[in-house]
Structure 1
Amino acid sequence: MPVSLKPAFPDTLSGWIAPDRTAVIVVDIQVDFASPDGVLGKAGVDMGIAAPAVSAAERLVDAARAAGTPVIFVGLATTAATDSPVWGEWRRRKNGVDSGGALCRAGEVGSAFYGPTPQGDETVIWKLRYSGFFGTSLDAALRARGIDTLIVCGLTTECCVDCTVRDAFHLDYFVYVPTDACAAYDPGIHESALQSLELNCATLISTGEILSAWTE
């Protein structure tokens, strides 16, 4: 009978997140989701809750660049033409009115990245749904670089980070989530989302652990 060979896996974190196999995915850290001057901030959402995660994501991105690890930015970019009738109806049922789809309008200030921002020829992936993989070229961009391991950070933990991580796992990527470099607007929801991801599809880690591994 043929022998089934298992792939050789690294024994250390530094091996798992080596720059030649890893990418940092920054999800939806944009003005409308992270800045007091964005749509959610002006609506009264406390952006101070997200601020530490944005700062940690900046440190992570700076360290990735220094280590030679690719950084890919994923952002929401909507237009009136791409607004989903289904999503509009869902909001109407939830809120009693159709609150519109004016978050992160393409080409406007609200869709601009906030905190960590793309530099040079870094890849930017624009999306219309929660997951960075749904209807985008993200998977193809990663495969073209030979990447099999992702470090996913951003906003919000229970929504776009969660959906992106789950899709990555379904596509057979190894996924790390730096718990301090992502956030929800409710700390309890953040913690619950992390517990669910750890239970099902991701390895939880801290930004400090990643930075230490890259400098070993």
Structure 2
Amino acid sequence: MSDNLDANYAGVYNNRIGFGKKPALVLIDFVEAYFDPECDLYADVEDELASAIRLVEIARAKGIPVIYTNVVYNKTGFNGGRFFQKAKPLRHMVEGSPLGAWAKGLAPAENELVVSKQYPSAFFGTSLSSTLTAAGIDSVILTGLTTSGCVRASCVDACSYGFIPIVVADACGDRHEAPHNANLFDMNAKYADVVSEQEVSEYMNSL
């Protein structure tokens, strides 16, 4: 077995699907909890938010659907199940919490969909798959927080539901670069095409 990761995967897990014909841009859980230094969910992800906002501007100009997700629980956390039980910082996501508000600079337009969820994937327990299918969407451009958590879960489910997952590395963030990079690598190997902001911007502008 090769000690070099890229060499180990070369020729095995380096295929690319390519972009679809009708994408949607998905912004996963860009909420205040990740931007407030006093919150235990805080991560240094200002640059990733800025990248996502730039993509929103292109999507709006090109008529590409923009979809936002957030995590919202009953005040008791009863509808959070084992996820809420395991991940204690999710207490910040109960309904009415200011830490569940959209990050500064991010404001869904009236015609843009917000999908509220209780679990990591944007697809699990929501109508997102049906909504995308009905709209003829064949691919999802994924941005958001965190790479190793809700982004990865949404990526795997997007693949499982038959959508082409495109993960924008510059617009996804995590608490630490190790899980961030490891999950980008693994998603690119098995489920998605991981691309740069520039690459996906050029694609969106070409539509």
Shorter-chain TM-score tier = 0.7 to 0.9
What is aligned with 1:151? 141
Deviation at 1:107, TM superposition (A): 2.9
Match of 2:118 among 123, 128, 135: 128
Q: Which residue of structure 1 lines up, in the alignment, with residue 24 of structure 2?
A: 23
Gaps of 5+ in 2: 1-16
Instruction: State the percentage of identical aligned residues.
Output: 27
Aligned partner (choices 174, 178, 181) of residue 184 of structure 1: 174
Alpha-carbon distance in 2 for matches of 1:88, 1:213: 38
Q: Distance in 2 between matches of 1:149 and 1:179?
A: 16
Point out 4+ residue stretches in structure 1 off by more than 2 angstroms: 43-47, 81-91, 213-216
Residue 65 of structure 2 corresponds to 70
1:42 maps to what in 2? 38
SS of 1:179's partner is strand
Q: 1:32 to 1:161 in 2, by over 3 A?
A: same
Deviation at 1:88, TM superposition (A): 5.4
CA distance in 1, matches of 2:118, 2:40: 24
Give CA-to-partner distance per residue, 1:159-193, whole Å, 9 cap, x none: 00000000000011111001000011101111001
Distance 1:121 1:107, change over 3 A: farther
- Which structure 1 segments of 5+ residues have no match? 1-11, 92-98
- Partner of residue 61, structure 1: 56
Question: For 2:79 and 2:94, how far apart are their aligned partners in 1?
Answer: 10
Aligned partner of residue 92 in structure 2, secondary structure: coil
The 8 Å contact of residues 150 and 173 in structure 1, kept in 2 or not, is answered as yes
Cα displacement (A) at 1:100: 6.9
- 3-state SS of paired residue (2:194): strand
For normalisation by structure 1, the TM-score amounts to: 0.80
1:138 aligned partner: 128
C-alpha contact (below 8 Å) 1:83/1:101 kept by paired residues: no
Q: Distance in 1 between the 2:90 and 2:169 partners?
A: 29
Distance 1:72 1:45, change over 3 A: closer
Cα shift readout 1:50-78 (whole Å, capped 9, x = no counterpart): 11101100001111111110000111011
Q: How many residues align?
A: 188
Cα distance, 1:117 vs structure 2: 2.3
Structure having the higher Rg:
1
Q: 1:211 aligns with which of 177, 201, 204?
A: 201
Structure 2 length as normaliser, TM-score? 0.83
Distance 1:208 1:44, change over 3 A: same
Residues 140 and 45 from structure 1, CA distance in 2 versus in 1: closer, same or farther, beyond 3 angstroms?
closer
